[in-house]
Amino acid sequence: MAQEQLSTALTFCKRMGTFDYDGVRALVDQPKFVHHVRPSSLGGFGHPQGFSIEEFIQFGEARHKEFQSLEFSEPHQTIQGTDQISLTFETTSTMVDGKVMKADQAFFFTFTPGTSKIVKVVQFADSLLWFKMAEQRGHPFPAPKVFV
Protein backbone atom coordinates (compact mmCIF):
# COMPACT_ATOMS: atom_id res chain seq x y z
CA MET A 1 0.00 0.00 0.00
CA ALA A 2 2.88 2.41 0.76
CA GLN A 3 4.06 2.40 -2.86
CA GLU A 4 0.50 2.92 -4.15
CA GLN A 5 0.04 5.88 -1.80
CA LEU A 6 3.34 7.43 -2.93
CA SER A 7 2.31 6.98 -6.55
CA THR A 8 -1.06 8.62 -5.83
CA ALA A 9 0.56 11.61 -4.11
CA LEU A 10 2.98 12.14 -7.02
CA THR A 11 0.13 11.76 -9.51
CA PHE A 12 -1.93 14.35 -7.59
CA CYS A 13 0.88 16.90 -7.99
CA LYS A 14 1.47 15.99 -11.64
CA ARG A 15 -2.23 16.40 -12.43
CA MET A 16 -2.27 19.77 -10.64
CA GLY A 17 0.62 20.79 -12.89
CA THR A 18 -1.20 19.75 -16.05
CA PHE A 19 -4.49 21.27 -14.84
CA ASP A 20 -6.16 17.82 -15.02
CA TYR A 21 -8.77 18.42 -12.34
CA ASP A 22 -10.96 15.48 -13.34
CA GLY A 23 -7.86 13.36 -12.78
CA VAL A 24 -7.31 15.00 -9.38
CA ARG A 25 -10.93 14.30 -8.44
CA ALA A 26 -10.42 10.58 -9.16
CA LEU A 27 -7.61 10.38 -6.56
CA VAL A 28 -9.50 11.68 -3.54
CA ASP A 29 -12.01 10.39 -1.02
CA GLN A 30 -14.58 12.89 -2.27
CA PRO A 31 -17.07 13.24 0.57
CA LYS A 32 -14.30 13.66 3.16
CA PHE A 33 -11.54 15.41 1.18
CA VAL A 34 -10.17 18.74 2.37
CA HIS A 35 -7.26 20.78 0.98
CA HIS A 36 -5.63 23.38 3.25
CA VAL A 37 -3.32 26.11 1.96
CA ARG A 38 -0.64 27.41 4.29
CA PRO A 39 1.07 29.54 5.60
CA SER A 40 -1.62 31.44 7.42
CA SER A 41 -0.41 34.71 5.85
CA LEU A 42 -2.22 33.54 2.69
CA GLY A 43 -5.49 33.39 4.58
CA GLY A 44 -6.26 29.97 3.11
CA PHE A 45 -7.08 31.80 -0.14
CA GLY A 46 -10.40 32.69 1.43
CA HIS A 47 -11.02 29.16 2.71
CA PRO A 48 -9.39 29.03 6.15
CA GLN A 49 -11.28 25.79 6.94
CA GLY A 50 -9.95 24.21 3.75
CA PHE A 51 -11.30 23.55 0.27
CA SER A 52 -13.68 20.73 -0.55
CA ILE A 53 -12.76 18.94 -3.77
CA GLU A 54 -15.21 21.04 -5.79
CA GLU A 55 -13.94 24.31 -4.26
CA PHE A 56 -10.35 23.22 -4.90
CA ILE A 57 -11.14 22.49 -8.55
CA GLN A 58 -12.92 25.84 -9.01
CA PHE A 59 -9.94 27.63 -7.46
CA GLY A 60 -7.53 25.69 -9.69
CA GLU A 61 -9.51 26.37 -12.84
CA ALA A 62 -9.53 30.11 -12.05
CA ARG A 63 -5.73 30.08 -11.51
CA HIS A 64 -5.23 28.07 -14.72
CA LYS A 65 -6.28 31.13 -16.70
CA GLU A 66 -3.14 32.87 -15.38
CA PHE A 67 -0.65 30.05 -16.11
CA GLN A 68 0.75 28.69 -19.34
CA SER A 69 2.37 25.88 -17.39
CA LEU A 70 3.15 24.67 -13.91
CA GLU A 71 5.99 22.19 -13.57
CA PHE A 72 6.97 20.24 -10.48
CA SER A 73 10.58 19.11 -10.02
CA GLU A 74 11.34 15.63 -8.81
CA PRO A 75 10.69 15.63 -5.05
CA HIS A 76 13.57 17.04 -3.01
CA GLN A 77 12.42 15.10 0.01
CA THR A 78 9.90 12.34 0.60
CA ILE A 79 8.85 11.18 4.06
CA GLN A 80 6.34 8.38 4.39
CA GLY A 81 4.48 7.02 7.39
CA THR A 82 1.35 4.97 7.88
CA ASP A 83 -1.25 6.49 5.55
CA GLN A 84 0.73 9.77 5.36
CA ILE A 85 3.29 11.20 2.96
CA SER A 86 5.11 14.51 2.79
CA LEU A 87 6.81 15.78 -0.36
CA THR A 88 8.80 18.91 -1.13
CA PHE A 89 9.26 20.28 -4.64
CA GLU A 90 10.48 23.26 -6.57
CA THR A 91 7.84 24.50 -8.98
CA THR A 92 8.34 26.54 -12.12
CA SER A 93 5.31 28.54 -13.22
CA THR A 94 5.11 30.21 -16.60
CA MET A 95 2.47 32.91 -16.57
CA VAL A 96 0.32 33.79 -19.58
CA ASP A 97 2.47 36.89 -20.15
CA GLY A 98 5.59 34.68 -20.34
CA LYS A 99 7.03 35.58 -16.92
CA VAL A 100 8.60 32.64 -15.14
CA MET A 101 8.36 32.25 -11.37
CA LYS A 102 10.05 29.63 -9.22
CA ALA A 103 8.83 28.59 -5.80
CA ASP A 104 9.22 25.92 -3.18
CA GLN A 105 6.18 23.88 -2.24
CA ALA A 106 5.55 21.27 0.43
CA PHE A 107 2.62 18.88 0.41
CA PHE A 108 1.43 16.72 3.29
CA PHE A 109 -0.97 13.96 2.24
CA THR A 110 -3.22 11.90 4.49
CA PHE A 111 -4.96 8.85 3.06
CA THR A 112 -8.13 7.07 4.05
CA PRO A 113 -6.61 4.28 6.18
CA GLY A 114 -5.48 1.28 4.18
CA THR A 115 -6.33 2.84 0.78
CA SER A 116 -4.71 5.02 -1.84
CA LYS A 117 -7.53 7.62 -1.67
CA ILE A 118 -6.41 11.04 -0.45
CA VAL A 119 -8.56 12.43 2.35
CA LYS A 120 -6.50 15.53 3.23
CA VAL A 121 -3.80 17.69 1.68
CA VAL A 122 -1.96 20.47 3.46
CA GLN A 123 -0.03 22.55 0.95
CA PHE A 124 2.61 25.04 2.03
CA ALA A 125 2.87 27.58 -0.77
CA ASP A 126 5.50 30.24 -1.31
CA SER A 127 3.55 33.24 -0.05
CA LEU A 128 5.94 35.80 -1.53
CA LEU A 129 5.33 34.30 -4.98
CA TRP A 130 1.54 34.53 -4.56
CA PHE A 131 1.70 38.13 -3.34
CA LYS A 132 3.98 39.13 -6.25
CA MET A 133 1.76 37.33 -8.74
CA ALA A 134 -1.37 39.04 -7.39
CA GLU A 135 0.34 42.41 -7.42
CA GLN A 136 1.49 41.99 -11.03
CA ARG A 137 -1.98 40.96 -12.10
CA GLY A 138 -3.77 43.74 -10.21
CA HIS A 139 -5.79 41.19 -8.23
CA PRO A 140 -7.11 42.00 -4.81
CA PHE A 141 -5.34 39.80 -2.33
CA PRO A 142 -5.61 39.77 1.43
CA ALA A 143 -2.85 41.64 3.21
CA PRO A 144 -0.34 39.29 4.80
CA LYS A 145 -1.44 38.23 8.26
CA VAL A 146 1.97 38.48 9.90
CA PHE A 147 0.95 40.66 12.85
CA VAL A 148 -1.92 39.78 15.15
Q: In terms of pTM, does the model score above 0.85?
A: no
Let me know: does 89 contact 105? Beta carbons within 8 Å. yes
Nearest alpha carbon to residue 107 among 88, 80, 128, 129: 88
Summarize the confidence of residues 120-128 as an average pLDDT: 82
Which of 29-33, 65-69, 86-90 is the least confident region? 65-69
- For residue 148, name the pLDDT band (cuts at 50, 70, 90): very low
Predicted local confidence at residue 117, as pLDDT: 97
Summarize the confidence of residues 7-33 as an average pLDDT: 93
Summarize the confidence of residues 44-49 as an average pLDDT: 63
